[in-house]
Amino acid sequence: MKEKTKAQLMWELFSVFGKIGAFTFGAGIAMIPLIEEETVHKKHWITETELLDMIAISESTPGPISVNTATFVGCRVAGFGGAAAATVGLALPPTLIIIIVSYFLAAFSSNPWLNAAFSGIRAGVVLLTLNAVKRLSKNCPRNMFGAVMLAAAFLLATFTDVEFVLLIVAAVIAGIVYNAFAANGGEGDKG
């Protein structure tokens, strides 16, 4: 098979992420299953473990998780140009759609058919998000530390007003402390 040129690879990144951006409704997290399908399973640009790492970094850096993930994937595949191509590809379709929809939404906001369509879209987004959690969780370590962290993060996020940034920072610190303990002869991360 013929090796792709850098320009062809950047166009492919732009096209793949453009399709994801054009056909995903909901928050950035709803794009993760599509990003996984395209970049891991179809294109084989990255592994599931690499995607999971990129999502963790994307969640802890400023900006939408989907845009950050696209940037990281693009950078991994084709350097700075790939990062730019993937990011613009992902962001351009929704931006254009929002501009167009904003002109017409006020006129149709009381339309029951439109409201019903948006209700269905919201349900679909929840399903996509749960599917992404299920598929990506198989690459997470399964040990007592992971279970405690998951339960604590879920309870704090669900039943308190604690900021997500604080949860992420606390999880990072806990992970560092846990792994430092494990490296010094503790139970360790047996995955």
> What is the CB-side half-sphere exposure of residue 182 using CA atoms within 13 A?
14
Q: Which two tokens stand for residue 150?
A: 């998951």
Task: Kindly give, in sequence order, each residue whose CB lies less than 8 Å from that of residue 162, ignoring residues fewer than 6 positions away.
Answer: 156
Same domain for 32 and 79, yes or no, is: yes
Evaluate if residue 117 carries a pLDDT over 90.
no
- At residue 191 the predicted structure's pLDDT band, cuts being 50, 70 and 90, is very low
- Considering the domain architecture, whether residues 86 and 133 belong to the same structural domain is answered as yes
Instruction: Choose the most confident range, by mean pLDDT, from 107-121, 134-148, 154-168.
Output: 154-168
Domain that holds residue 185: 141-191
1 is a domain residue: no
Domain annotation covers residue 183: yes
* Per-residue pLDDT reduced to its tens digit, 157-184: 899 998 888 888 888 899 889 888 887 7
- Examine the domain organization and report whether 154 and 107 are in the same domain: no
Same domain? 150 vs 113: no
Q: What is the DSSP letter of 56?
A: H
Residues 131 and 149 both lie in one domain = no
Work out how many domains the chain is built from and give that number: 2
Whether residue 32 is contained in a domain is answered as yes
State whether 38 and 114 are in the same domain: yes
Percent pLDDT > 70 in the chain is 94
Check residues 146 and 60 and name the one with the higher pLDDT.
146
CA distance 157 to 175: 18
3-state secondary structure of 6: helix
Q: Which of 61, 164, 125 is nearest to 75 (CA)?
A: 61
Q: Are 163 and 130 contained in the same domain?
A: no
Q: Do residue 96 and residue 69 come from a single domain?
A: yes
117 and 99 co-located in one domain: yes
- 174 and 135 together in one domain: no
Q: Are residues 78 and 67 in the same domain?
A: yes
The span from the CA of 100 to the CA of 116, in Å, is: 20
75: its two tokens = 């950078």
Domain match, 30 and 117 both = yes
SS3 for 1?
A: coil
The residue behind tokens 């940034």 is 165
Q: Report how far residue 22's alpha carbon sits from residue 72's, in angstroms, rounded to the nearest whole number.
A: 19
